[in-house]
Amino acid sequence: MCSQPGGGVIPVTASARLQSYIPGMATPDKRSRSLWLQGPAVPCETVPPGAHLPWRIVLLGAPGVGKGTQADLLNQRLNACHLSTGDVFRAAGGRSDSEQSPAMKEALGYMRRGELVPDSIVWDLVRERSQCLHCVGGFILDGFPRTVAQAVSLKQLMDKDGLGLTAVVNYELPLEEIVARLGGRRTCEICKTVYHVTERPPRVADQCDRCEGKLFQREDDRPESIKVRLETYERNTAPLIDFYAKLGLLVRVPATGTPDEICERSLPELEYRRSKQFAHLMWAAEENRRDT
């Protein structure tokens, strides 16, 4: 079972999951951001183990390249939960002062300036939600990891628990298009759906198509923060491209064209990676069976 925007749950059967791998076939509209945003106290019921091989995907790319938009589309196509560390920080920013821990207040200061939140704070946040990484429904990580130290911590955690990543997608786009995307972005304050004033406008101005929530412009989308974010990305996050290429997990996807075109471009490679991962697991299980 997986959560919906309002906090409810929908059943996800093995057959529903298999449907999601067939191109063009309709899939249940599943978004599990609410559980991830609220943190570890919120239980998530999961599909039965063994029903399928979960998609475990990391999205990389500069701020504004379209990771959140693609995560949303991949969530609809693959049914894996969209987990964004930036969303967790923004959700915390919307709470009252007394509800924010000192670490979260510190994190929000970094975020407003466009700087990275220190690894220790980010890792605490991810670790306390690590159940989401174990979910047999899979996950799409958006905005994490963002430094080599974070990637190493994630790898150690996943290796320890025998979890493998399916793929790491790196979206690539010229700088001027990135800046234009950031400048026109609007986000729904309730369900976090992302729009763009000219490229992906809502049907009614300033109102979310999905939940009628009000749209807002992110604080860190001001020009001075954008500059800092792009410099920070080059310095701290771009090295992850090499890190994951060396692990044989990197999928490079040009992020030009419409969101749907980009998503369609990425799917065949993701399917290929997943079938390779599946074949490897079958082989390892067979070896194991022979040895015992």
Q: Give the catalytic positions in this structure.
A: 67, 146, 185, 218, 229
Tell me the closest approach of the beta carbon of residue 224 to ligand AP5, in angstroms: 13
User: What are the helix and strand counts (H, E) for the chain?
Assistant: 12, 10
**Whose Cβ is closer to ligand AP5: residue 111's or residue 250's?**
111
Instruction: Check if the beta carbon of residue 172 is closer than 8 Å to that of residue 254.
Output: yes
Name 10's bridge partners.
Answer: 2
Distance CA 141, CA 106 (A): 23
- What is the β-pairing status of strands 215-216 and 194-196? unpaired
**Whose Cβ is closer to ligand AP5: residue 124's or residue 199's?**
199
Tell me which residues touch ligand AP5 (CB under 6 A). Answer: 61, 63-69, 84-86, 89, 110-111, 114-117, 122, 143-144, 146, 150, 181-182, 184-185, 194-196, 199-200, 220, 229, 258-259, 262
**Whose Cβ is closer to ligand AP5: residue 21's or residue 145's?**
145
**Whose Cβ is closer to ligand AP5: residue 51's or residue 177's?**
177
Q: Quick check: helix, strand or coil at residue 78?
A: helix
Q: Quick check: helix, strand or coil at residue 59?
A: strand
Distance CA 193, CA 261 (A): 18
Q: What are 167's two structure tokens?
A: 């793929």
What helix, strand, coil percent values describe the chain, rounded to 5? Answer: 50, 15, 35
Tell me the closest approach of the beta carbon of residue 195 to ligand AP5, in angstroms: 5
Instruction: Check if the beta carbon of residue 148 is closer than 8 Å to that of residue 163.
Output: no
Tell me the closest approach of the beta carbon of residue 202 to ligand AP5, in angstroms: 10
Tell me the closest approach of the beta carbon of residue 65 to ligand AP5, in angstroms: 5
